[in-house]
Amino acid sequence: MKGFIKLIIVIAVLGGIWFAWEQWKGNEAIQVDYQTEPLEKGNLMITIEATGVTEPDELVDVGAQVSGIIMEFGKDLNGKVVDYSSPVKAGQMLAEIDKLPVQLDVQRAEASKAQAIAGIARSKADIQQAKAKHQQARLDRERAEKLGPGDALSKSSYDQYIADEETARANVAVAEASLQEAEASLKQAEAALKKEMRNLEYTTIKSPVDGVVVKRLVNIGQTVVSSMSASSLFYIATDLSKLKIWAAVNEADIGSIRKGQEVLFTVDAFAGRKFKGTVDKIRLDATMTSNVVTYIVDIDVPNPDKLLIPYLTANVQFVVEDIRNAFLVSNAALRFRPETELVSAEQKAAFDRMQPELAAPVRDGQKKKAVVWELRNNLLYPHLVTKGESNGMLTAIAGETLREGMEIVSTAQILNRSDSSGDGSSASAGGENPFAPKMPPRRKPSTGNTKTAASAGNDGPPPPP
């Protein structure tokens, strides 16, 4: 019996201790760990990223219009054999093709011309001969016509004189036609000679422009075959002080690209250095790879010091908007929603008054509204702001009550909340946790070093900016 009484006493003592503990814990102040960021003004650049390749502003493909063997290369402006990166000027010899086959073609064309000239002379002589015979036949016919057919001139002889005159007249016309044919043959021979002479000039490959040899495609002794199109021998960049970037831009971003737009880019060859350019044009012949549509954007790049060279990989940023001297906050601060127990009734009412503007649909030309929470004297104050552009991490905002230096909350974690897991819960960028238990508000102020939140504040609304 005595043991039973002792057991009851022990249970009562333990129950009293547990009740006292719960009462003390219920009166403990909420301890909250706030993560804040000072509201500051800064610059925000909104960009579209793409990858491209540097290209010469103008690339000339120098080819051969005649076939033959490469016999030699010319000298560049430095006196060296023309090769990769050789500086050349317009009219300078780059290479020479074997001239002998073309020279033989020139000789044949000259012979054809001489033959055509001789044909003209012969045709002219034939005309004179035909005219003389026609003159004789005409006189014979006139005499025959005076005599007429009779005893002095038989009928058959009379007819023969008439026929001879007409034949002689026709022979004159034939000789004149032969002359025209010979003259046409001369023109044809002259054209063939000009063509072969031009082909002889083509055996000397000359630079059509001032520039730099980007690529040489042939060697001495190599046979060049030119058929339907000219064989490529050299690629010459006209002016390396101006380059292009051909950047591939996704179809989702192409609407933000415009002519004259500022572009920033880097190349791995000069790490840490940024270069500038401007958009020249958007090519409309889009390409599709794995169901992804991309457009090529041409970018003008000044290169006065010729530091950049062709065919470098460029990491491109198209500047969509460059915002200067604006309030900037993290996207986490815009997503932050405190738990109800961390906000005073007065500030909760202020937040509720902002709801119509937050829920209002965004019309054309308008910007979306949002709320940021200021931490002042361990109390939270809502500020209605207008959201601007964002780069994915920071967002530009504007608001009448904003002032530089105020502490903007991005996350808040309650450190001394009791729950089944024994861990504190947090009010973070995602808003209130719907699965966390709702605890009654604590009213006892904290005396520790941890920042605390009161359930009722007397500081009133935030001061004007």
Mind listing the pLDDT tens digit for each residue in 353-377? 999 988 888 887 788 999 999 999 9
Q: Which pLDDT belongs to residue 459?
A: 44
Give 291-341 pLDDT, tens digit per residue.
999 999 999 999 999 999 999 999 999 999 999 999 999 999 999 999 888
CB 199 within 8 A of CB 65: yes
Q: Does 92 have pLDDT greater than 60?
A: yes
Provide the mean pLDDT of the chain: 85
CB 46 within 8 A of CB 323: yes
**Could you count the other beta carbons within 10 Å of the beta carbon of residue 63?**
16
Give 377-425 pLDDT, tens digit per residue.
989 999 999 999 898 899 999 999 999 999 999 999 888 765 544 444 4
CB 328 within 8 A of CB 41: yes
Q: How confident is the model at residue 449 (pLDDT cuts 50, 70, 90)?
A: very low
CB 186 within 8 A of CB 120: yes
Q: How confident is the model at residue 220 (pLDDT cuts 50, 70, 90)?
A: very high
**What CATH number matches the domain at 61-98+203-237, 3.40.50.300, 3.40.50.970, 2.40.50.100, 3.30.1360.70?**
2.40.50.100
**Could you count the other beta carbons within 10 Å of the beta carbon of residue 218?**
19
**Residue 378 phi, psi (nearest 5):** 65, 20
> Range with the lowest mean pLDDT among 171-180, 249-258, 378-387, 409-418?
409-418
CB 329 within 8 A of CB 407: no
| CB environment 234-273: b (16+ within 10 A), e (fewer) | bbbbbebebbbbebbbeeebbeebeeebebebbbeeeeee
Rounded Cα distance between 134 and 124, Å, is: 15
Q: What tokens does 268 get?
A: 């791995």
CB within 8 Å of 176: residues ≥ 6 apart? 127
SS3 state of residue 391: coil
Q: Does 286 have pLDDT greater than 70?
A: yes
Most confident of the following: 25-34, 117-126, 259-268, 418-427: 259-268
Q: Does 280 have pLDDT greater than 90?
A: yes
Q: What tokens does 188 get?
A: 């044809």
**Could you count the other beta carbons within 10 Å of the beta carbon of residue 316?**
22
SS3 state of residue 367: coil
Which residue stretches of 222-344 are H helix? 331-335
Q: Which pLDDT belongs to residue 461?
A: 45
Under DSSP, the state recorded for 452 is B
Fold of 47-55+239-324: Elongation Factor Tu (Ef-tu); domain 3 (2.40.30)
